[in-house]
Each structure stands twice: as structure tokens, then as C-alpha cells.
Structure 1
Amino acid sequence: MMKLSVFGKDTAHSIEVALDCRHYIGDRPCKFNRECRECPEYSPQGTRILIIKTGALGDVLRTTILLGGIKRKYPDSHLTWITAPGAVSLVPKSIVDRVWPYSVEVIARLSVEEFDLVLSLDKEPEVAALSMIARSKDKRGMGVDGCGAVYPLNKEMSYYYRLGLDNDLKFHHNRRTYPDLLAEAVNIPYDPAVDDYHLDLGEADREKARCLFLGTGLSPGQKVLGINTGAGGVFVNKDWTLLGYVALLQELEKRGITVLLLGGDRESDRISELHRRFEGPFIKDVGTGHSLGVFASLVSMCHVVLTGDTLGMHVALSVGARVVSLFGSTQPTEIEMFGRGEKIITPIECAPCYKRSCDIHPSCMEMIRPETVLASILRQWDMPSAKNLRTIGKSL
């Protein structure tokens, strides 16, 4: 135990503090609210590991796949994760000891604290530079040199680094998934049979989602198809077309499949338009603009989720829903479905491209046919709940 004895004017006010305990806070009592001396909850930090991963939101969530391998290799490790303020709720506090939103204050902490291992997982220079500030003899992932250029810190990172520079390799030759690639890049064990997403759902978020769900007239446990109607706006053609959704919903209504429309503020107009076209009781709306925790809790109440390659897809996989995912301009190979769903890949020859604009018609998403999507949904609809197949936690 790393002890610090602090003495007052007399021995009656002296205390003994365990500075290396993972529960120690410093400015107030820890959650166990007892003195450190002979505390049964004393837990030394062990291997101190810093994870730097700030965005995008879906990438933060799928990076949690590394946590199982980290805990197997370093079972008594103390984990600190630096992420974007908007991604804090995606980092599981049940596993990660400290979640720091990226800020000036965090940079100050990095200039003082020491870590046994730093995993720097962002390629953006301003984020990768944090790995150069962090004090550690073992740094893996991405760094920044004196000229501001991003480069790999360890030899295992070379293939993952090359994928970002070689579109031919990334688009046409690589057949490995993101978890496999990332684990190799930072030399962390990965086993697809046991390693999975990790996402904590708070009880308050679950309860609000349950109220929203029941408020639409749905019954507890009712079998529902969730449709995540949008996708991120960075790359073009990540979300399906309005006409595609309309044709699909017509067929779902005939089959009596209840639909729950999901999305954020960006999708509010599209959801309103779908409601205008379909006024029947089979289509439900829980609104937009919810927190990530409430959104994830709503997704967890769906049996199947239809989504593009976006945060909603990663959330659906993390909560154990069955997933039908549509791929247009982005690379489907890197997505691990864990046996819980299907990928529908555009037949267009120029995909994937990761372009930010496109004037090709019909576009890659327009070439995904409603009947193809319907067939995939029906296959997943008839399969048992994927929640029984989830492997989250087995590796911890």
C-alpha cells in the first residue's frame, strides 16, 4: 500500500491514506466512506492504462471491444479513458475506472500522472498529440512528430496505419474486422468468441425509455422492429432513401409487424414525413432528441433493428438486438456482427468510396431494393432473441 500519513496538531487528528487505491478521490471520502487504515475495500490500481479515443461516437463504442482483452492480459489494471464530452456515456464505467472528457484540465493531468501503458487510438493530430504528452514508457497506437505529422508508435500498428493511407487495400483487399485490426495494432488479445461490445445502461435511462415505449400503446415485451432512420452526415449515402423506407413500410404493414421509428434531431423531419404517410397503429414514434442512454435503452427493447452504418448500428449490436445493416459508401468488411444479424451491401461497383459528396444516379443506396431489405428483416424476425447469444462479460 502506498501510504501517506497526515498529522494534525495532535495524534487524534492523524490519518493514514492509501494513495494507490482505485477508490481514492482525495477531496472527499470514497464511496465506502471509511478510513483507509485496514479498509476491506482497499484495491491497489495495478497496471495503470490510459486509453485515448474521442470519436466518432460509433468508433468509441466499438473500441470497447478491447476491454475484455485488456482485462485478461492485465487483470488488476486501472483504466483511464479520454474521450469527447459527447461520448462519455458510451464508455462503460463498470469497467473503466476514470472517464475524462477531453479538456484543458485533462492536458494538465497528463503532464503530471504516470501510466504503465498508453493506447492512442485516434488518427487526428490534435488527439494523437495527447499520447506524446502522456508520461509512459510503453506507448502504442498513434503519435505526432515534431512537424505535426501523425505516425505509428509501435510496429504492430503498421497495417492498421497503412489502411488509412491506401484506399485500394482498405476498399478491395482487406477482409479483417475492426476489432481484429485494432487489437493487433495495440497488441491486445482479441477473441471473437468472447469479446464483445460493452455499454452500461443506467436505470434512470431504462425507466424513461420504458415510459416512452409504453406511452405509444405498446405492451411490455412486445416484439418490435426498430428502424433507425438516419446516419451520420460526414460521408454521403450512409442512410437509405425515403422512398425505400416507404416501400418497406407498406410491406411491413401488410404483415402486421409493429415498427418503432428511431433517430435523433437530424431525423425528425424524415420521421414526421413517414408518420404523415402512414397513420396506422403499426408505426410508433417515441420522438427524437433523447440522450444516448435513453436512445440505447429504446433500442434494447427492439427485437430487430434496421439501420445504416452508423452509431445506431453499434448501439443495436451492443444491447443484443438483431441487426439488419445497410452499406452504401462505407466498408462493410470491417464490421463484426457477432452472429446477430445481416449486412445488406449495395451492388454498385464504385462502393465503398467514403466520399463526402456524389452525383451518381441511381446512387449506391438507391440500388438497395426494398424487397431485399424485407427478406432480411423477416429472416431475423423469425430467429430467437439475440440477447441470449450475447457474450458481453464472459471475458471479464
Structure 2
Amino acid sequence: MNTMKTDQGPYPSGPPSEKLVDFQAVQGLSPFPVALDCRYYIGDRPCRFQRDCPGCPHYSPQGTRILILKTGALGDVLRTTILLGGIKRQFPESHITWITAHSAMPLVPRSLVDRVWPVSPETLARLQVETFDLVLSLDKEPEVAALAMLAKAPEKRGMGVDERGAVYPLNPEMAHYFRLGLDNHLKFHLNRRTYPDLLAEAVRISYDPARDDYHLDISDKDREEARRIFVSQGLEPGQPVVGINSGAGGVFVNKDWTFFGYLDLIRELDREKIPVVLLGGDRESQRVSELHRRLKSPYVKDVGTQHSLGLFSALAENCRVIVTGDTLGMHVGLAVKSRVIAIFGSTQPHEIEMFGRGEKVVTPIECAPCYRRSCDIHPSCMELIRHETVMDAVRRQLALSNSART
């Protein structure tokens, strides 16, 4: 643990203006040195340790100041957390600030990230003043790439934007990742590398799939509430519960499996007396209610869809296996270390890293992936995925989860 040196009076070694500010020069105040460079310093109130700065054993200099810009889809924000392990290996004494969408802030782990800022006028004002050592700009949207250009830092990696508003790669290693967004044939049919591998290479951060994983903090309060909900539904801790996350984002068509596919799958699970929990958010409320109404089984539980991201994650954590499309629920399932069966129709399965905790069920249709926003092909890519195929995958993953517990 780094501690403050006192060989220069109340100041640590180095210029006092960079370490401790002594307010004794302010008329009428007693000497009051403050460590402005400590990662725990807040400024408008005492830090968590409630101690004076000189001699504080918790003093931790910020070290390398890193700014991460990632605001995109919620699932993309969560899967970008795989970079944090490599960042901490490369810059063990680092202070990380992450700018993201307000809705994605709960997905950024405070255990590894010092500050999480929303995209806001207040954040823009801070970028005008603060300096960083390294900026990692990970969004292709011009508005976010522009923030990277505004940030003050000697080194920037990722995406930037020029005077014409055109997004471009800031460093040579980003070129391949950048091209994937412009070349559908390369992205859809030639690429076989995962998103973590591609992204880490693009920003020159080491990545080891054996060590680097999703990072998601779940509060004790959310875990306790999830346990309470499960118990209220007659589910005991440790039961082999299957979570069904039946919805998916609405940007691309055929990201979610069909209603009747899920209905037939749950009927199979019900016949084998395997408990099922219906998961989802606001968009899935109607679908979840209709699935529950049609099945009317004591083994099928509707735990609600009006939950925070933290509580949704805690509910997913209590499921032994999760069946889901290529959506946030898939990334959350992987982050909480459940076994995941991911169903792919119009999106690219090869970019998803399963970390050995599940399997992919991929449509056999030849035109996938397509990332189309509408489709008039029947049967569609998702309609070609049979519930028997998914049920076989559920049986395999339940067996693997059981063997891991024995």
C-alpha cells in the first residue's frame, strides 16, 4: 500500500502543487493539506475513509489516467468490460473514467472503474478541463468519437472524427476492426474472431480468454431481493432452474426466437418437471404474460419484467441455464456465470465469446447473418430453428452444470 511521505514537511515527495494543497495561505484557515491526486478524493465531502490526508494509509495516487468512451447498446457496453483485466495488467497503477449512456451506467463495474460519467453537458464541461494519459474511444457514432477529439490526452486509440464529421481510426491497429463495420462480406462471412479478441487488438490491450471475462457488479441488496423473489415463487436455492429470456432488441429483425418456439420449448421443460423462470424487460412484458397465461403450469414462474438492471442480473444469476437470443440477456447470463444457450438468426454468432459456459444454436438458413431491419422470407431464419434442437442443448447444459456441482 502506498503511503504519503513526510520528508518534506506535510507534503509527499514531488512538487507540493501536484500532491498536497495546503490551505494555510488562505486567510483565517489552519494548515489543511489535501491530496488532490488520490483516487479517493471527492472534494465536496469527505472520502470514504473519513481521514485527514497526511499519513493516511489508504492514499492511492491515480497513476495513469485512462478515459474509456463506450456508450453503445447495453450488451455492447457490458461485453466491453472484458478490456478491464488487460488494462489493469498493463497499467496496474491506473485511474479509469468511463463515459457511457445514462441507461448503461449500472453495467460498468465500480470495483474496477473509478468514475462512471453519463453523456451530458456536465461531462462535456469536465472534458474541457481535465487531462488524461490515454483515451480509448470505442464507439463509431460521430457524437461519441467527437468526445475523444475534445479530450485532452497525449495518446488516443480507437475512433475519432475529422473536421467533416467523418469517423476514422485513430491508430493503425484499429484499421481491421474499423473495416469490419464497412465490409459486410468480411464481417458476415469471413470473420471468425470474437469481439473481445478484435477489440483488444484494436486498442492494443492484451486479451487472454482464459483470464479475461465480463465484469459485472451486483449489489448485496439486489441479490437478496432476487433470492426473495425466487423463494416467493416456491423455488429453492440451488435448484436447476432454466431462465427463458424471450425478447431481443428491436433494431434488427429476427434477433429474437419465435413466440411459438419458446412456447414449445417451455412445454418440453414442463413435461420433464424442470422449473422455468420467465425473464425480460419492459419490451417483453406482453410476451412474458402471454407465455405464462398459455402454459398455466406450477413449473413456469413469471417473476415480472419491471426490474432494474441490477435486479435482472441477480435473477439471471439464480438460473442454472439461460436460453436467450443475441441480446443483453445473453451477455448478462455470461457475466453472472450461468450456462447460456444463445440462439442466432440474423446476427453474427462468431463474434460472441461463450467462455466455455454454453453453446450457440445457429439458424441453418443460407442468407444469415444479414442484420436486416425487415424481412419477408418465410420460413424465416428463426422459424427454421426447431424447439427440439434447443431442448437438446438445454439438457446438455443442465448436465454440465450438475456435474460441475458434484
TM-score normalised by the chain length of structure 1: 0.96
What SS does structure 2 have at the residue aligned with 1:115? coil
Aligned alpha-carbon RMSD (Å): 1.2
TM-aligned CA distance change 1:320 to 1:258, over 3 Å:
same
Mean CA deviation greater in 291-300 or 239-248: 239-248
What SS does structure 1 have at the residue aligned with 2:85? helix
Of 161, 167, 171, 2:184 maps to: 167
What SS does structure 2 have at the residue aligned with 1:129? helix
* Contact 1:179/1:190 (<8 A) preserved: yes
Residue 357 of structure 1: how far off its partner (Å): 0.8
In the other structure, the counterpart of 2:380 is 363
Residue 384 of structure 1: how far off its partner (Å): 2.6
1:4 aligned onto 2:27 = no
- Cα deviations by residue, 1:29-49 (Å, 9 ceiling, x for unpaired): 111111111111110000000
1:129 aligned onto 2:152 = no
Residue 9 of structure 1: how far off its partner (Å): 3.8
Question: What is the alpha-carbon distance in structure 1 between the residues aligned to residue 32 and residue 106 of structure 2?
Answer: 35
In the other structure, the counterpart of 2:341 is 324
Matched residue type, 1:49: I
* Contact 2:313/2:336 (<8 A) preserved: yes
Question: What is the alpha-carbon distance in structure 2 between the residues aligned to residue 272 and residue 10 of structure 1?
Answer: 66
- Cα deviations by residue, 1:275-305 (Å, 9 ceiling, x for unpaired): 1111110101101110000000000000000
In the other structure, the counterpart of 2:217 is 200
In the other structure, the counterpart of 1:392 is none
1:101 aligned onto 2:137 = no
Residue 385 of structure 1: how far off its partner (Å): 6.0
TM-aligned CA distance change 1:386 to 1:208, over 3 Å:
farther
In the other structure, the counterpart of 2:361 is 344
In the other structure, the counterpart of 1:391 is none
Of 90, 99, 102, 1:82 maps to: 99
TM-aligned CA distance change 1:386 to 1:81, over 3 Å:
farther
TM-aligned CA distance change 1:65 to 1:387, over 3 Å:
farther
Matched residue type, 1:186: V
Residue 253 of structure 1: how far off its partner (Å): 1.3
Question: What is the alpha-carbon distance in structure 1 between the residues aligned to residue 27 and residue 190 of structure 2?
Answer: 71
Mean CA deviation greater in 206-215 or 359-368: 206-215
TM-aligned CA distance change 1:132 to 1:41, over 3 Å:
same
Question: What is the alpha-carbon distance in structure 2 between the residues aligned to residue 343 and residue 210 of structure 1?
Answer: 28
Question: What is the alpha-carbon distance in structure 2 between the residues aligned to residue 212 and residue 38 of structure 1?
Answer: 46
Identity of aligned residues (%): 68
Question: What is the alpha-carbon distance in structure 1 between the residues aligned to residue 103 and residue 310 of structure 2?
Answer: 11
* Contact 1:320/1:387 (<8 A) preserved: no
* Contact 1:51/1:82 (<8 A) preserved: yes
Of 312, 328, 332, 1:311 maps to: 328
* Contact 1:320/1:386 (<8 A) preserved: no
Question: What is the alpha-carbon distance in structure 2 between the residues aligned to residue 17 and residue 253 of structure 1?
Answer: 62
Question: What is the alpha-carbon distance in structure 2 between the residues aligned to residue 84 and residue 175 of structure 1?
Answer: 29
Question: What is the alpha-carbon distance in structure 1 between the residues aligned to residue 48 and residue 404 of structure 2?
Answer: 32
What SS does structure 2 have at the residue aligned with 1:140? strand
Q: Runs of 5+ in structure 1 lacking a partner?
A: 389-396
In the other structure, the counterpart of 2:5 is none
Q: Give 1:169-188 correspondences, 5 Å limit.
A: 169-188=186-205
In the other structure, the counterpart of 1:296 is 313
Question: What is the alpha-carbon distance in structure 2 between the residues aligned to residue 286 and residue 387 of structure 1?
Answer: 27
* Contact 2:343/2:362 (<8 A) preserved: yes
TM-score normalised by the chain length of structure 2: 0.94
The number of aligned residues is: 387
1:38 aligned onto 2:93 = no
Matched residue type, 2:58: E
Matched residue type, 2:148: S
* Contact 2:65/2:96 (<8 A) preserved: yes
In the other structure, the counterpart of 1:71 is 88
* Contact 1:124/1:150 (<8 A) preserved: yes
- Cα deviations by residue, 1:110-151 (Å, 9 ceiling, x for unpaired): 111110000000000011110000000100000000000000
| More contact order relative to length (CA 8 Å, sep ≥ 6) | 1
In the other structure, the counterpart of 1:384 is 401
1:210 aligned onto 2:227 = yes
* Contact 2:289/2:302 (<8 A) preserved: no
Question: What is the alpha-carbon distance in structure 1 between the residues aligned to residue 91 and residue 299 of structure 2?
Answer: 49
Mean CA deviation greater in 312-321 or 267-276: 267-276
Residue 273 of structure 1: how far off its partner (Å): 1.1
* Contact 2:345/2:369 (<8 A) preserved: yes
In the other structure, the counterpart of 1:55 is 72
Question: What is the alpha-carbon distance in structure 1 between the residues aligned to residue 295 and residue 255 of structure 2?
Answer: 24
Residue 208 of structure 1: how far off its partner (Å): 1.4
